[in-house]
Structure 1
Amino acid sequence: MCDLKRTLDAQGHCVLEMPSGTGKTVSLLSLIVSYQQFYPAKRKLIYCSRTVPEIEKALEELKRLMAYRLSCAETEEEKEKERNFYGIGLTSRKNLCIHPEVAKEKKGKVVDARCRDLTNSAVCEKGRQNPGSVDLCDWHENLGKLEPGNLIPPGVWTLADVLQHGRDNTVCPYFLVRRMMPFVDIIIYSFHYLLDRREMSKDAIVVFDEAHNIDNVCIESLSIDLTRPMLDSAARSVGKLGEKIEEIKKTDASKLQDEYAKLVEGLQEAANDEDAFMSNPVLPEDLLKEAVPGNIRKAEHFVAFLTRFVEYLKTRMRVLHVVAETPLSFLQHLKDITYIERRPLRFCAERLQSLVRTLDLNRLDEYSSLQKVATFATLVATYEKGFLLILEPFETDNATVPNPIFHLTCLDPAIAIKPVFERFSSVVITSGTISPLDMYPKMLQFTPVVQETYPMTLTRNAFLPLVITRGSDQVAISSRFEVRNDPAVVRNFGSILVEYSKIVPDGIVAFFPSYLYMESIVAAWNDMGILNEVWKNKLIFVETPDANETSIALENYRRACDNGRGKVSEGIDFDHNYGRAVIMFGVPYQYTESRILKARLEYLRDAYRIRESEFLGFDAMRNAAQCVGRVLRGKTDWGLMVFADKRFARADKRAKLPRWINQYITETASNLSTDMALTLSKLFMRTISQNPNENQTGVSLWTLEDVQKAQAKQKEMAMEVEQQEDQPMDEDDDYYGDGGLDDRILGEIDLDV
């Protein structure tokens, strides 16, 4: 908390690694809320998390915190201040829509499009002037009747609370949150909202929680993949735009004239943000102040321009060999073939946005491919460095039927996050697993005021990390490509699972480096009869890439744990009986033959002097730590962390693990065979299950009385020191008197002998 306060005081940025399950979220929130309430010029807090359950969890924590602050407030004025505090969370329309027809849609894009058809400003205007002429959303309309800034009573509102409020008062929860954002003290939402939008006040405090993958989030937000079906869909959309323009010329030509006049003024004339149908790429400020180039100002000229660009991309897709080129090389080739200049391309995304508004189009989800092409054009023409274009004609190296993908891949995460660091006074990057810390400032190009990793305070070792390097038959185990499918390695991996399923109570969670490897291992275990052995002790549930299937598997897994039988590492807690042991089979390295990864590694080496091996090691260890860290979700929890790969025994690999895990890996536990690991595990579980003082109150969990006692003791010692300093020195008499220092003071002095 002191480090966080130092960062806020200095109005700088910081990187903090705090152990899992030790109240990281509530510590951050409690200090920042106190900071906000203490200083009259309230700085807004933007709290970013990765998934909807994490957003909801943070809102729950904030709600409890504010209830506690209200109960502790002494004067009526303080109570009023706490009551008027606003905290709110934002997620997608799909999660917040309560319109009976629109909410039935399963795809987020379709919900967005249908919502815009009912709520965009042109439709609303028409509906109000001529009631019944168009369909409107009653929930959205009711919201417009309320006073801005007072759409919801003060307090902390979880997503479930906002939904319930919307149903009770017939107002739209999504737009309620969007319109309240300028007026609230804390807004909690996903990383992507902050990277896409720059509408917040500059003096805000930004917290990226669970930010171990923030570089990947930044890269994904600026990378685009185009396929042949997408280009066909984009071409159809361009045709529809052309027809719509011809139609509107006959009925309402002045609309197009007005748009033309606005575009001469520049892009800043853009309309209401609520109508925006696509999130625009990160554009430099100077570009937004320029006027749109003359050759794409007229709607029909812009459609012809898009047609030429889409046809050019289609011809590029016909190539049957891999092509990798820089944006400059792509633009030069484009100019030579189609005479399309770079400047109009830079305005493509904004110009399409403007045209869609002017034409009052509906069902915008059908234009999503065209939107991608326009964003692709804008990005490729805006950034010379930090991007690479890769055309892969076949899905795999052995495939014979072409299925081309054109990747515009961002190689530099700093591009997406640079506006965040420049705009906001304090940015806090925190997670349980972001070691080594110096990698993030290097990759994201910022200078932190504080960079700190914290150990874990426990009265007893609540978790036991073990590194298994070989099986009971002394054959080394590893997921290295050369040996990963060796029957001896597969069998030894299987025997670890079988043996642990016999001795561990409740749930065991096993992680693999990839879905592909997991499928091959599980199939091999099935053939070897290993799964049958495990089934004698525990039920088995397997995660799949499909989110719905996985959520059903997880629900059944929890039910099995409760009944006494026994992309998951992100945002799902295996606390208490749901995860007493986590086994990491192999080191989760990325697939190094990927052309995109190779390009990124080359860029990191040339631009930031980060070696390939350094980045790959860092990435693998943060993923491993993220997996095993799930076993411990609080100070009363306990569990086993098993690293099953001989490479984890190397000191340089272990040094990349977070300090709070590494501090508990002893020399003995860093190079074990399966049978030795089992012996240590049994001993650990016997010891841990006997401790009666489970809540550790007064030692690593402090009550309010404990904190006050410690503060009183500190004050007492400080006063004694002051009194001693104030005593006049008598040259004849010894300063310490006859008896010298008394025993108590001697005992409290730290003598560095």
Structure 2
Amino acid sequence: MGPTDTADDDGMPLIPTPETFPFPYPQPYSIQLDLMRTVFQAIESRKIAIVESPTGTGKSLTLLTATLTWLEAHSKRLTNHAETSLRARMMQDDPDDPPWVLEHAIKAKMTELRAGEEEREERLRKARERERKIKAGSGNGVGTFGKRLKVTNDRGETVQKKGDIGDDDDEFLPDDAEEKRRDDDVYLSNEVRDLMAKYEAGRPTYSEEEDKEDDIPKIYYTSRTHTQLRQLTSELLKTSFPARDDSDSTVPSGPVSLVPLGSRKQLCINEKVRALAKRGGDERMNEACLDMQKSGKDRCEFLPKKEDERIMLEARDAVLASVKDIEDIVTLGKKTCVCPYYATRKAVKQSQLVTLPYNLLLQKNAREALDIDLTNQIVVIDEAHNLIDTLLSIYSTTVTSAHLSAAAAQLTQYLQRFQSRLKPVHALWIKQTLAVVQGLQRVSETFVKDHGKKAEMIDANTLMRRVGGSSDQVNLVEMVKYLKESKLARKVSGFAEKIAEAAMKEPKSSRSVAAKHASITAFHLVEAFLLSLTDARDDGRVVLSPEPNGAVTMKYILLNPAERFKEVVDSARAVILAGGTMEPISDFTTQLFPNIPKDRITTLSCRHVIPKSNLLTQVICRGPRKAEFEFKFATRGDEAVLGDLFAVIQSTIGLVPDGVVVFLPSYGFLDKVKDVWAKSGLLAKLGEKKQVFYEPQTSGDVETVLRDYSLAISSVQAPTTTGEKRKTGALLFAVVGGKLSEGINFSDSLGRCVIMVGLPFANVGSVELQERMRYVEKLPGAGKDAAKELYENLCMRAVNQSIGRAIRHANDYATILLVDRRYASGRIRNKLPKWIGDDIVIQEDWGGAAKGIAGFFREKRERGLR
């Protein structure tokens, strides 16, 4: 399909011009116009676009402007086409009618067609009015459409409901989804069952008999973290598109409504449910929420009943009325006493822009749970550089021999407690599930005896053959279906929690809260693992790995992300993959789109908005003492080479003002460097010029290290009276792929120089990596070097993310040093970000590199830059 061939659209194709885009700033950069045109045309032509726009170039704002401009133009096109088609049809049906009659009939019909949109706008106007009243109210916690439920004691005093969700053991019995069919039709053939299932599926349910809301054209915008999506909300407010509170008299209400989707952990306002999450994790929180939707005294006070649907609809309109992030919606939910989690879900169909984290878009079961239909919608995946790894991670599951042991014990205890009360179908499936779990236990035990400390890779069928016993007669797909329908994991873990809490109350109990949490999540993890096995097809493997404590880990890994992402690509109108550093792009075409025609994929790599003089990139091949830099794993401990590396860093921090960040290939290499330099006294010499910091290995310490690093740079030190050398700025040692290599901005003085030491190649001895390389070699169109390409690309994507930390806005400047002679090869250089381009200087000796650094910062001082 060509760039303007949109035969399956209504009306003429849309052709973008610079004036088409209402960019919020007077003069967009040329790369911003290029990006907007590329994205607009990709949507119009139903393509996949892979676009790279460096951080600091207004990528998010540009993507929003392009996608929302298309959405607005498409809406007008549909309206115009509807009127044109109506006119043509009426002229054909009644050719003798006078023109004024025809025009009157067309106007009446178009008014009728527009009534739905006008009714929606009126609802949102009223919602904005209610929102203003709530903001101006007394703040007593009671809103205008919600109603807080109360429970009183015998004296009429308001009391809190009980935190436990039911004390009757009946709540732990399996749910009877399709109970009658399973119990009474056990002897029916599969063909008859299929026919009955089709008949049942065709019968209208209560929800289907209701008027269903139209799923209007929209953009699903996803990114890696909640923080990044929150920043997108502020970017949206800069544009002319969003609906605003009518109290903002400077900008009229616009047509675009935003819905930010999140998890219960982010959106739940029921303190009892949130307390359960603290004690039992996210899974327990989800279970508690679902339990509290049932009728009865423990029903959630913030969830309106079916007969109070009006309350939830008004909450939906409150979400749509003006742009809000998740925190705003939670605040509104508390004031109106209506659940924000379900209010946002209710609002999705009528919104034009939906933001959501990766996992909610990429997982099919999450999309189904949220009732997300991607058909003909626009999907934008920001920070898409790690999309492949994210897909592989989402569909990977891990279970340990300890989890299997706990799950087997729980199922055994559950059967003993409820054996006499279980219906035959439940008893049968639970016993079969127990047999499979015990079979997996046996596999773990025999694996240690047979393989010792060596990991093994097998497919799902081989694993199930090893499970053996009566398990080989089990239909695993049907078993997993039963587990879902019966909610057995919820029932078993709930019962296990009750038993654990009772045990903790006993005198001299040694059970901890952590042990209790681990035990009640065990069966959920086993269920997830079994689900993965049923979804394995031919592109999944199971890795069995021994642990130092004698335990065994079973990990299901996905090898082919394309098959899972295909559901998104096939449904959506267009898919936009965007990031600051998308190179090497070949990974996406090979691993995500192996069967997509090349003419359906368009790519764009934007240069940076900074002038060329603001970036100096040099490859350092040798040190001052002529040691050749090639930091392969086997030579990283060479003390002569490490001595020359020290000399490079020491010389650099004497030439570079403010902050210098050094990225090393691994935590192990960082420890080696610190050890060697500390013993030789070199480490103390670095501290004489700049205060030295190291990346912490615990996430909780990251903020502290960054704060102290920033303070060391910003504080001006007075000359000392003791002759001690004055420190200027700070030096930070970080690890590629660590906590500081992505999502952290070293802009301006925080990162005037980024030093990349070596190439962080993954451990080629990993059984997972080896299997993935073998799989990639077999993909359609894969060349003879496909495995080598994958191996290099994994490394270079990590490098690109790290060096991308330096330049963060249009007026920033920095120098980048690539300390390894392998960066001089054309193959590696071609995989660096395009915004570095061909302006890389290859230095065979350190003297030339030092002159380059000195000249770079001298020129900045002469220009008065700080």
**In which range does the TM-score fall when normalised by the shorter chain?**
0.7 to 0.9
Q: Name the structure 2 match of 1:382.
A: 535
Secondary structure of the corresponding residue to residue 707 of structure 2: helix
Q: Does 1:430 align with 2:572?
A: no
- Once residues 258 and 660 of structure 2 are traced to their aligned partners in structure 1, the CA distance between those partners, rounded to angstroms, is 37
Counterparts of 1:629-668 in structure 2, within 5 Å, are 629-665=804-840
In the TM superposition, what is the alpha-carbon distance from 1:410 to its structure 2 partner?
1.2
Q: Does 1:591 align with 2:739?
A: no
In the TM superposition, what is the alpha-carbon distance from 1:551 to its structure 2 partner?
2.7
Q: Does 1:152 align with 2:319?
A: yes
CA gap of 1:314–1:67, structure 2 versus 1, over 3 A, is: same
Contact 1:589 1:620 in 2 (8 A): yes
- Once residues 543 and 42 of structure 2 are traced to their aligned partners in structure 1, the CA distance between those partners, rounded to angstroms, is 41
CA gap of 1:689–1:139, structure 2 versus 1, over 3 A, is: farther
Q: Does 1:237 align with 2:410?
A: yes
Aligned letter for 1:60?
S
CA gap of 1:576–1:244, structure 2 versus 1, over 3 A, is: farther
Q: Deviations over 1:582-630 (max 9, x none)?
A: 1111111111111111111111112342522211111211111110011
In the TM superposition, what is the alpha-carbon distance from 1:240 to its structure 2 partner?
5.1
Secondary structure of the corresponding residue to residue 754 of structure 2: strand
Q: What is the aligned length?
A: 624
In the TM superposition, what is the alpha-carbon distance from 1:8 to its structure 2 partner?
0.5
CA gap of 1:224–1:630, structure 2 versus 1, over 3 A, is: same
Identify which range, 186-195 or 151-160, moves more after superposition: 151-160
Give the CA RMSD over aligned residues: 3.0
Aligned letter for 1:503?
L
Q: Does 1:369 align with 2:369?
A: no
Identify which range, 230-239 or 406-415, moves more after superposition: 230-239
CA gap of 1:537–1:161, structure 2 versus 1, over 3 A, is: farther
Identify which range, 160-169 or 474-483, moves more after superposition: 160-169
Counterparts of 1:295-694 in structure 2, within 5 Å, are 298-318=425-445, 319-320=447-448, 321=451, 322-334=455-467, 336-341=468-473, 344-356=475-487, 359=491, 362=494, 367-395=520-548, 402-445=550-593, 446-447=596-597, 448-564=600-716, 565-566=729-730, 567-608=739-780, 609=782, 611-665=786-840, 669-691=841-863
Aligned letter for 1:21?
G
- Once residues 240 and 178 of structure 1 are traced to their aligned partners in structure 2, the CA distance between those partners, rounded to angstroms, is 38
In the TM superposition, what is the alpha-carbon distance from 1:394 to its structure 2 partner?
4.3
In the TM superposition, what is the alpha-carbon distance from 1:361 to its structure 2 partner?
6.8
Q: Does 1:48 align with 2:222?
A: yes
Contact 1:93 1:108 in 2 (8 A): no
- Once residues 205 and 153 of structure 1 are traced to their aligned partners in structure 2, the CA distance between those partners, rounded to angstroms, is 19
- Once residues 91 and 68 of structure 1 are traced to their aligned partners in structure 2, the CA distance between those partners, rounded to angstroms, is 20
Q: Name the structure 2 match of 1:277.
A: none
Aligned letter for 2:265?
K
CA gap of 1:233–1:535, structure 2 versus 1, over 3 A, is: same
Q: Deviations over 1:480-507 (max 9, x none)?
A: 0121111012222222332222222222
TM-score scaled by length of structure 2: 0.67
Q: Does 1:188 align with 2:355?
A: yes
Aligned letter for 1:534?
L
Q: Deviations over 1:18-46 (max 9, x none)?
A: 22221111111111111122222652111
Q: Name the structure 1 match of 2:74.
A: 39
Q: Name the structure 2 match of 1:19.
A: 54
Aligned letter for 2:815?
L
- Once residues 333 and 547 of structure 1 are traced to their aligned partners in structure 2, the CA distance between those partners, rounded to angstroms, is 40
Q: Does 1:91 align with 2:255?
A: no
TM-score scaled by length of structure 1: 0.77
Secondary structure of the corresponding residue to residue 640 of structure 1: strand
Secondary structure of the corresponding residue to residue 588 of structure 1: coil
In the TM superposition, what is the alpha-carbon distance from 1:636 to its structure 2 partner?
1.0
- Once residues 588 and 603 of structure 1 are traced to their aligned partners in structure 2, the CA distance between those partners, rounded to angstroms, is 22
Identify which range, 506-515 or 558-567, moves more after superposition: 558-567
Contact 2:51 2:604 in 1 (8 A): yes
CA gap of 1:474–1:423, structure 2 versus 1, over 3 A, is: same
Secondary structure of the corresponding residue to residue 643 of structure 1: strand
In the TM superposition, what is the alpha-carbon distance from 1:141 to its structure 2 partner?
5.3
Aligned letter for 2:432?
F
CA gap of 1:170–1:314, structure 2 versus 1, over 3 A, is: same
Q: Deviations over 1:72-125 (max 9, x none)?
A: xxx99x944x1x4211323333344444455567869614513541x32x5333
Secondary structure of the corresponding residue to residue 354 of structure 2: strand
Contact 1:63 1:157 in 2 (8 A): no
Contact 1:223 1:408 in 2 (8 A): yes
CA gap of 1:141–1:678, structure 2 versus 1, over 3 A, is: farther
Aligned letter for 2:398?
D
Secondary structure of the corresponding residue to residue 319 of structure 2: coil
Aligned letter for 2:751?
G
- Once residues 38 and 195 of structure 1 are traced to their aligned partners in structure 2, the CA distance between those partners, rounded to angstroms, is 28
In the TM superposition, what is the alpha-carbon distance from 1:438 to its structure 2 partner?
2.8
Secondary structure of the corresponding residue to residue 323 of structure 2: strand
Aligned letter for 1:155?
S
In the TM superposition, what is the alpha-carbon distance from 1:180 to its structure 2 partner?
2.4
- Once residues 832 and 714 of structure 2 are traced to their aligned partners in structure 1, the CA distance between those partners, rounded to angstroms, is 32
Aligned letter for 1:444?
L
In the TM superposition, what is the alpha-carbon distance from 1:477 to its structure 2 partner?
1.6
Secondary structure of the corresponding residue to residue 189 of structure 1: strand
Aligned letter for 1:340?
D
CA gap of 1:192–1:108, structure 2 versus 1, over 3 A, is: farther
Q: Deviations over 1:349-384 (max 9, x none)?
A: 442232227959748865432222223223323333
Contact 2:242 2:258 in 1 (8 A): no
Q: Name the structure 1 match of 2:333.
A: 166
Q: Does 1:225 align with 2:358?
A: no
- Once residues 529 and 141 of structure 1 are traced to their aligned partners in structure 2, the CA distance between those partners, rounded to angstroms, is 69
Contact 1:15 1:450 in 2 (8 A): yes
- Once residues 572 and 323 of structure 1 are traced to their aligned partners in structure 2, the CA distance between those partners, rounded to angstroms, is 37
In the TM superposition, what is the alpha-carbon distance from 1:657 to its structure 2 partner?
1.1
Secondary structure of the corresponding residue to residue 601 of structure 2: strand
Secondary structure of the corresponding residue to residue 571 of structure 1: coil
Identity %: 22
Which of 115, 126, 133 is the matching residue for 2:295?
A: 126
In the TM superposition, what is the alpha-carbon distance from 1:341 to its structure 2 partner?
3.8
In the TM superposition, what is the alpha-carbon distance from 1:170 to its structure 2 partner?
3.9
Which of 361, 364, 378 is the matching residue for 1:205?
A: 378
Aligned letter for 1:624?
V
Aligned letter for 2:238?
R
Contact 2:53 2:605 in 1 (8 A): yes
Contact 1:51 1:571 in 2 (8 A): no
